[in-house]
Amino acid sequence: MDKIVLLDVNNSKLLHEFALLPFELYKNDTSWVPPIISEYKKYVSGVGNSLCDVGPHVKMIAQIDGKTVGRILYGTDDKLNEYKKMKVGYISQFECIDDYAVAEKMLDSAKNWFLEKGMDRIKGPLSLPGGEDNRGFITDNFETRTYIMNTYNKKYYNDFFYKVRF
């Protein structure tokens, strides 16, 4: 079995890998609407949203033999948690090849990070803080073309999230 390596997205090369993974995953999928890459990189870097203002977050990619096969962004909205007296972390921007071991490794990393931060619940996938797009997963109708800023995902993502124990 190939070794799955998780890398923190902490430079422009890894940010590029993070942004481009869906283009590989959905290359033959006519229902997926791709983002504008330069705008997407700004979005996941906190430009035009409150990602960097509300609490810590992690952008991570998973690789096998140097090839990016998964991505995830997770964090806490400390302002919202304080206001609502909660301890909730969020997951966003999840994408993965059809390999549960990759998904499990990324989601376990998120779970452990949340436990270290004292969180007792996890929500997701959610929009980045301050956003209203890309919430949840679709569960059916994978054939109809989506519209800009709407969620689209692989059918197996639902199974991955049901299997993981938080």
Listing DSSP states for 87-99 in one string gives -EEEEEEEEE-S-
Nearest to 54 by CA among 124, 147, 131, 109: 131
pLDDT, greater one: 130 or 121: 121
Q: How confident is the model at residue 6 (pLDDT cuts 50, 70, 90)?
A: very high
User: pTM of the full predicted structure?
Assistant: 0.89
Band of residue 111 on the pLDDT scale cut at 50, 70, 90 = very high
pLDDT of residue 123: 87
Domains of the chain as residue ranges with CATH: 4-163 (3.40.630.30)
